[in-house]
Amino acid sequence: MSKYTHKIGSIKNYIQQIYVDGLKKSNYFSDIEIEELVSNIGLFKFKGYVRAFKNNMNNYSIDDVLIVYFFDKYLIRVVMDLTLSIETKLKTILVELCYKQIKTLPANHPQKNNPFFYLIQDNYKPIILQNNGIEKFSLNKGAVNNWKNIEFNSNLSETYLHYGLYYKNKYDYTVNYQSFLNNQTLMKTHSDINYPPFHYLVESSTLGTINKIIKHLKIENFDILQKVAAKFRVTNTNIDFEPYLDRLAEIRNRAAHGERVFNRSYRSINRTSHFNKISKEINNHKFIDVYLFLYFMLDRIDNFTSIEMFKEKEINRLFDNFKEDYFIANDSKMLNIKMENSEYENIKRFILKGML
């Protein structure tokens, strides 16, 4: 292992150095404008995109690097929208499945129509640790912190209250505990949290918390993971649905943190049904497979008969829409619109190679 050394440099000096290394100057911007663009991006982040060109710098310009960055920024916005739609679908399915199950329980069952069932320890499979140890399921403080007891501010000017504020102002966990959870063994809870009914909790939870609940919740013999998988058409019991949730979280986290996404490697999954049929020719660790996966999770891939058809329609749509995107035009000083078609087609091939 080596000692880390860091030489603090300026944006101007770095740009001059990559020109020395072979990258061509801009056809559209002055040196000052280039420095402004890189400053807005951030030098550390910009360097990550320059590295994508390190084996062939002489054939590209700084305009190409900027276009790749701004395309990735556009791609992140699309990914966020798709993953938010999948998250909404997950939450809806989770609530519907669980409430339907507790409704079917015998009349004398303590969890019959109990909206606080999720706090009961027996409703969860144990968590298997990496050292093969076992840990009881619980929701950490961060997962429920939105439901912390706070003094209600009656001067809030909203037309109507956010559901969380409304609930905390109207209901009390102590009362609900006596009505729904008395004499039950609960998971670890926190005294300053006004635990809400399940559907409130799900609506307020992050994707990470939702995934954790889905993986471990089991009401009697009703395994939520298997039931949710079936709703996403993963019905082969030999295919584990957990990696699907993990992959969803991976791409969502990278997008949410503004990381580079177009040419990264991703965790693979065991594909199924039509998804497996049309994706056999592509690398299951690359972005194109992840993008197809997002369409699969949203039940949007049946109309595609081949991966070539998907690329022709959906991947080309990304490039076409990016070229005219208003927000990217503002961020890039109109570079996405200014760039000549021949240059754009060239860098498009570069991006596609990274995605595939």
pLDDT tens for each residue of 68-89: 999 999 999 999 999 999 999 9
Q: Look-up: residue for tokens 């998971």?
A: 187
Confirm if 322 and 43 have CB atoms less than 8 A apart. no
Distance CA 58, CA 224 (A): 54
Distance CA 190, CA 203 (A): 20
The whole-number pLDDT of residue 6 equals 75
The whole-number pLDDT of residue 152 equals 62
Low-confidence ranges of the chain (pLDDT < 70): 151-161
Q: Global pTM?
A: 0.93
Dump pLDDT digits (tens) for 161-198: 577 888 888 899 999 999 999 999 999 999 999 999 99
The whole-number pLDDT of residue 158 equals 57
Distance CA 29, CA 38 (A): 12
The whole-number pLDDT of residue 163 equals 78
The whole-number pLDDT of residue 155 equals 58
Confirm if 296 and 231 have CB atoms less than 8 A apart. no
